[in-house]
Structure 1
């Protein structure tokens, strides 16, 4: 049986599962672990090499080198039992430094409070804030008459506002989801 396993391996270069199937056709019953042991004993077993994957930063993050050049902000739901909270998350694209805070409501007032806390938390000056087009961040896609409080706040602090494209939730949430499972601050 050992010679038959070695012969099939050398002739066809099959793995343990294919060797088992081929031997079953010849009415030889043997387990895959036994085949694996035989192949290891005769130095015919090869482990698969794992592919090394390169980290992909994304097209919008390639040219950002300086801390605070762009901070991405988004909101996710966080459930604690039956109670739903809103987790505001800000991630600096250059340094990957993040800040999270929980709120009971998803309102423009919560956004202003979060932005103030975020600016105090980051040890560098924030030059640009990128958000999606939700009503907690902007009124520009919702045809409201007044200007959003976050727009006024950013104008007063000389912070540039950038918006993610409409109907592309993956654009902002890619970074927020990566940091949502970490400890709350």
Structure 2
């Protein structure tokens, strides 16, 4: 019995059926015309097993989706402050320090001293990188806090570093590399309960 014929006749997802056969260790033979099962295989029993397998897969997928949604909701609900606590809340558990770093390069404009950069306004580029850096590093801090079983971050601090890398080529001339802008976010993950 050709696998593609079984899939067609019983309206099965061929790839899912093949994955099931492999997962269950059911012997599949191959010929020039494609993969097939031995005629001695109890097809009715096999199809029943496949239905159960697919139901289990659907259940597992739904469970993973629910866990992912719960995780995303938990991360979104993490509150953040630059202070040492929240009014009306008491800290019941300190998860520990959380930190995140982001480095981003910004091309140096070629302006010939005129002030109009070929790649746009350098100040706006820097502002955009700072904003993106804060958003991404804060998101990473929240993920870390969630993994530590915390629902808040206190003492949040952002630090910024700008590097202007240069190098000397083989002829001794200075080559100016893109600016490197770094954002570091630091905080303390905690579990806070309303009093």
TM tier relative to shorter chain = under 0.3
Structure with greater proportional strand content: 2
* TM-score (norm. length: structure 1): 0.25
* TM-score (norm. length: structure 2): 0.24
Instruction: Kindly indicate whether structure 1 or structure 2 has the higher relative contact order, using CA contacts under 8 Å at least 6 residues apart.
Output: 2
